[in-house]
Structure formats: structure tokens, C-alpha cells
Amino acid sequence: MQKIRPDMDIGKNIQRLRNDSKMTQDQVVAKMNVMGLNISKSTYAKLETNRMNIRVSELVALAIIFKAEFNDFFDGLVLK
């Protein structure tokens, strides 16, 4: 079975938004869990390093946590 590969490298933007918010990965994961998203720190780290595709629910939660616009996640990216 072929793995799905991310076609956009948004992990760096997720990491930038987290750093701009002065939050640790643990803090982000805790907030996501409080919001009802069951995510581990290792799974979150995979999102930041593009080793895992992000779910829409996770993207929405991160936009709320970081107080970001959806365009912020795709800043400077082009389709591969």
C-alpha cells in the first residue's frame, strides 16, 4: 500500500506559529486535548515535521489556539 505524501510543507509554518505564540509542543497538545482532540506529543511533532498529514479538525484547533488565519498556515507555500 502506498503512503500518502503531504503535497505542501505546512509543518514549518505550524512550528513558526507555535513559536510566535511562545508555546511549547506540550502546551499546544494539552490545549488540543481540552478541545476534544485526542493527540499525543509525538503525533503533534510529526505534524510539525511533515511526517503526518494534518486533519482539518486539527488545523481548525491550531488556528483557534494560535489565533491565526488559515492563510497563515500556507504562507509562502506552493504545490509540489
For residues 57-72, average pLDDT: 96
Spell out the alpha helix ranges (H) of the chain. 11-20, 25-34, 41-48, 56-66, 70-73
Report the pLDDT value the prediction gives residue 29, as an integer from 0 to 100: 98
pLDDT category at 76 given cuts 50, 70, 90 is: confident
Whose cell is 488565519? That residue is 69
- Of the two residues 79 and 22, the one the predictor is more confident about is 22
Burial 3-19 (b: 16+ CB within 10 A, else e): eeeeeeebbebbebbbe
pLDDT digits (tens, 9 = 90+) for 30-45: 999 999 999 999 999 9
pTM: 0.86
Domain ranges in the chain? 20-73
